[in-house]
Amino acid sequence: MISHDLNILVPWIINHGYFIFLLIATIEGPIVTIAAGIATSFSYFNLYLIIILAIIGDIGGDIIYYYLGYRSHRLINSRFFKFFGLTDKRIEKAKKLLNTKTIYAVFIAKLSPLTGPIGTIAIGAFRPKFKNFFWPALGISIVKSSFFILLGYYSGQAYFELNKVIKKGEYAVIIIFLIIGISYLFYMIISKGLVKKILNK
């Protein structure tokens, strides 16, 4: 699945450039960021600029979702959130968490593969102070976006090196996709572990 997405996204990002990448990075997540990193390793983009744009896109999306929740705070008791498992008990737990340690709630929303934008909208709906939301979200965006860009970049660099040793280029591609897939899996496992640890505090 990841290899299929990257096969489409890498040439697409190369063809459309920085601005379109920024727009897509605001909506999408790790896969498009990895694709941009791979495109950067082919010298189509500047590495530092693409990292900055990835961070801006990631935190920009968070701000949009935060304000969407902030402006529509009554949604928190709607069927929409109930559909995603936000029961009355969980709402009370989330309120307590946001009132005491907003940073933990931001970590859960940013790192949990099950929440994503929905979690950030929920945070906004509880209306914590923006600065209490923004700084933890920015810190996570910097680490997360840099990691995925560099994963794509160094995977592309590794492809060039493997291609010198392995005669058939398709084998090098398979190896690189395996590295990316395993790295992404480790990210998911570590993220889930951190979320569980926070929830059990």
Residue that is written with structure tokens 């995977």 in the block? 155
pLDDT in tens, 20-45: 999 999 987 788 999 999 999 999 99
Amino acid at 125: A
Element (H or E) spanning 54, and its range?
helix 47-71
Amino acid at 49: L
CB 65 within 8 A of CB 124: yes
Domain tally for the chain? Answer: 1
Token couple for 150: 């560099």
pLDDT in tens, 130-159: 998 999 999 999 999 999 999 999 988 887
Band (19; pLDDT cuts 50, 70, 90): very high
Taking phi over 0 as left and psi of -120 to 50 as alpha, with beta for the rest, 3 belongs to alpha
Cα(126)–Cα(68) distance, integer angstroms: 11
pTM of the model: 0.82
Amino acid at 60: G
Domain that holds residue 82: 2-199
CB 125 within 8 A of CB 161: no
Q: Helices 47-71 and 30-41: crossing angle, nearest 10°? A: 160
Cα(146)–Cα(136) distance, integer angstroms: 16
Q: Which of 9, 10, 5 is nearest to 44 (CA)?
A: 10
Band (169; pLDDT cuts 50, 70, 90): low
